[in-house]
Amino acid sequence: MTVPENLSYTAEHEWVSIDGTVASVGITDYAQQALGDVVYVSVPAAGAPVTAGEPCGEVESTKSVSDLYAPVDGEVIEANPDIDEDPGLVNTDPYGAGWLLRIRLSDDADPAGLLSAEEYTALTKEAE
Amino acid sequence: MTAPDPAKPRQTPLRAVHERLGASMTEFAGWLMPLRYRSETAEHQAVRGHAGLFDLSHMGEIIVAGPGAAAALDYALVGQPSSMAPGRARYTMICAADGGVLDDLIVYRLADQEFLVVANAANTGVVDGALRERADGHDARITDQTDAYALIAIQGPAAAAILGPLTDIALDGVKYYTSHRGTVAGREILLARTGYTGEDGFELFSQPEDAEHIWTTLSGAGTGAGLVPAGLAARDTLRLEAGMPLYGNELGPDTTPFDAGLGRVVKLDKPGDFVGRAALTAAAQAPPRRVLVGLRGGTRRVPRHGYPVLWDRRPHGTVTSGAPSPTLGVPIAMAYVEPEVAAAAGNGDAGSSDGDAAHGRLAIDIRGRAEPAQMTPLPFYRRIK
């Protein structure tokens, strides 16, 4: 299981990469391994407002489905256009080509509550 | 035998093999089992196209032996094992007095006075207990031999070609649902042409200490032919596509064999009484309470166990199993629906493609949103023989 140092994380197994006012979001390697083969991802369309900690989509795999939670407050700018055609990208490259959303942070967004790589790793160890 | 510690799952004789292969392990029916090795979709497709190797050592093996073994089983089960020739196997069920299914089973007649009853892992204790109780007064011994057997299945169109050179049994002469004693990779086994995938294949009962040698020999011999190890996740989608019931989903104590469309396993014309006869006779004559049907999802959202089936926006049934079908590329499900709905949805489905009477009326409530569905005959997949 890989947990890149340069990313932030949520307890719901999303990763977040913040560049200025834009957050890129996906699910972690741990999450994709637990889910198994991802067959479908539903995410909000561009323009949709999202609220940190609230469900904003779902990830379907062979065995189960899980909610995707918005890690920050903001507005969706873009969903990964390749995921619909090839949801398996979430499995093969969760931190790269398998990204799911880009969100423009709202002015009062507070990403300080996100977990560091170290904190997230500890959390996944606890779950085992 | 010591009672298993409920907090600690039992391990199969192939545990070390799964660990070496890097399997994702899961607890299933009190056993630690491989869920998948790499991608369950790839494992599924390998079984459909080539072959897959499964560890099924969690399945229960119960031996029923003695001069009264056949009579005891005729009384205990809904089938008629006394009519089987030695070497034959049969799919059957054990029911409660009220006709509810306690488990679905495969019964092998090993010899005139010896039967092997293979039960689901979760039900082995219940089946063992019921058989003991029902054998009372018959000259038959019931022994749970689960720990004395490993069970390996090789399934898929290439199974016979991979297994053939490694066994002294002439596989061409092995008919579906028969068993033979012989060797595989030099180790003694009971080989049966049975399975739970919808493909041709074999199940190999061996001594636990021989399992690893048999597994690695088969694995080595089959790699070039596309054989891969396959876990429980692939096994579940394979059996679902093949329209095979799973105990706990399509079958349970509240279900009769007739509900599940498997009334043919109930031998009401066999001589003598058997447990459940009165209730099952009534169930055979009564109009069905519900019908097990196949559904195809109209969107990419996947129906799962327990989701309501809607007809004109109202619940009229329940999904028992659902998954994205790797072979068909769409979500599929089995569901119990009210007979009227099954008839109406079936008529619409069989109607002309333009004037589909059922169009838009059948749906599945997938976490609060109605997704359109279509009724489709079971099985979803049938192999070309």
Nearest CA in chain A to B42: A37
Q: Which residues in chain B have Cβ-Cβ distances shorter than 8 Å to A42?
A: 301
The closest CB to that of A36, out of B233, B301, B304, belongs to B233
Mean pLDDT confidence for A65-87: 96
Of the CA atoms within 13 Å of residue A62, those in its CB half-sphere come to 28
DSSP B79: S
The answer to whether the CB atoms of A40 and B301 lie below 8 A apart is yes
**Residue in B309, B301, B298 with CA at minimum distance from that of residue B341:** B309
Measure the N-to-C terminal CA separation of chain B; round to a whole number of Å. 44
Nearest CA in chain B to A85: B300
Distance from CA of A44 to the nearest CA of B (A): 15
Nearest CA in chain B to A32: B39
The CB density around residue B9, as the number of other CB atoms within 10 Å, is 17
Pairing of β B308-311 and β B314-324: antiparallel
The answer to whether the CB atoms of A37 and B40 lie below 8 A apart is yes
Tens digits of residue pLDDT in B105-136: 999 999 999 999 999 999 999 999 999 999 99
Nearest CA in chain A to B36: A36
**pLDDT above 60 for A57:** yes
**Residue in B67, B81, B127, B64 with CA at minimum distance from that of residue B270:** B81
B208's tokens: 């636990």
Pairing of β B60-65 and β A14-19: unpaired
Q: Which residues in chain B have Cβ-Cβ distances shorter than 8 Å to A63?
A: 35, 40, 233, 236, 323
Tens digits of residue pLDDT in B163-180: 999 999 999 999 999 999
Mean pLDDT confidence for B329-343: 96
Q: Provide the pLDDT for residue B358.
A: 63
Nearest CA in chain B to A34: B24
B357's tokens: 């009477």
**Residue in B312, B299, B300 with CA at minimum distance from that of residue B341:** B312
Mean pLDDT confidence for B301-329: 97
Q: Provide the pLDDT for residue B352.
A: 41
The answer to whether the CB atoms of B233 and A62 lie below 8 A apart is yes
Distance from CA of A6 to the nearest CA of B (A): 27
Q: Provide the pLDDT for residue A127.
A: 74
The answer to whether the CB atoms of B302 and A65 lie below 8 A apart is yes
Q: Distance between CA B60 and CA B149 in Å, rounded?
A: 9
- Rounded to 5°, angle at Cα A24 from A18 and A30: 105
The closest CB to that of A37, out of B41, B236, B301, belongs to B41
Q: Distance between CA B144 and CA B10 in Å, rounded?
A: 15
Q: Provide the pLDDT for residue B347.
A: 66
Q: Is the sign of the CA dihedral B317, B321, B323, B326 positive or negative?
A: negative
Q: Which residues in chain B have Cβ-Cβ distances shorter than 8 Å to A65?
A: 302, 304, 367
A91's tokens: 């499995």
Tens digits of residue pLDDT in B62-97: 999 999 999 999 999 999 999 999 999 999 999 999
**pLDDT above 60 for B355:** no
In a mutational test of the B interface, the residue from A1, A33, A62 whose CB has the highest number of chain B CBs within 10 Å is A62
In a mutational test of the A interface, the residue from B24, B35, B39 whose CB has the highest number of chain A CBs within 10 Å is B39
The answer to whether the CB atoms of A42 and B41 lie below 8 A apart is no
B177's tokens: 């649902």
Tally DSSP H helices, then E strands, for chain A: 3, 9
**pLDDT above 60 for B351:** no
Mean pLDDT confidence for B203-218: 98
Tens digits of residue pLDDT in B38-62: 999 999 999 999 999 999 999 999 9
Q: Which residues in chain B have Cβ-Cβ distances shorter than 8 Å to A36?
A: 24, 35-36, 39-40, 233
Pairing of β B51-55 and β B227-229: parallel
DSSP per-residue codes, A70-99: PSSSEEEEEE-TTTTT-TTHHHH-TTTTT-
The answer to whether the CB atoms of B302 and A60 lie below 8 A apart is yes
Mean residue pLDDT across chain A: 95
Minimum mean pLDDT among A18-32, B180-194, B355-369: which range? B355-369
The closest CB to that of B40, out of A36, A58, A60, belongs to A36
Residues of A engaging B, defined by a Cβ cutoff of 8 Å: 33, 36-37, 39-40, 42, 58, 60, 62-65, 91
The closest CB to that of B40, out of A40, A42, A62, belongs to A62
Mean residue pLDDT across chain B: 95
Q: Distance between CA B12 and CA B18 in Å, rounded?
A: 10
Tens digits of residue pLDDT in B176-197: 999 999 999 999 999 999 999 9
Q: Provide the pLDDT for residue B376.
A: 95
The CB density around residue A123, as the number of other CB atoms within 10 Å, is 15
Confidence band for A126, pLDDT divided at 50, 70 and 90: confident
Q: Which residues in chain A have Cβ-Cβ distances shorter than 8 Å to B26?
A: none
Residues of B engaging A, defined by a Cβ cutoff of 8 Å: 24, 35-36, 39-41, 233, 236-237, 300-302, 304, 323-324, 326, 367
Residue B52 phi, psi dihedral angles, 5° rounding: -130, 150
Nearest CA in chain B to A91: B39
Q: Provide the pLDDT for residue A113.
A: 86
Residues B375, B309 contacting (CB under 8 angstroms)? no
Q: Which residues in chain A have Cβ-Cβ distances shorter than 8 Å to B40?
A: 36-37, 62-63
Q: Distance between CA B279 and CA B100 in Å, rounded?
A: 9
Rounded to 10°, the helix B124-134/B69-76 angle is: 110
Taking one residue from A and the other from B, the number of pairs with CB-CB distance under 8 angstroms is 41
**pLDDT above 70 for B383:** yes
Whole-structure pTM value? 0.94
B385's tokens: 């023989």
Q: Distance between CA B67 and CA B64 in Å, rounded?
A: 10
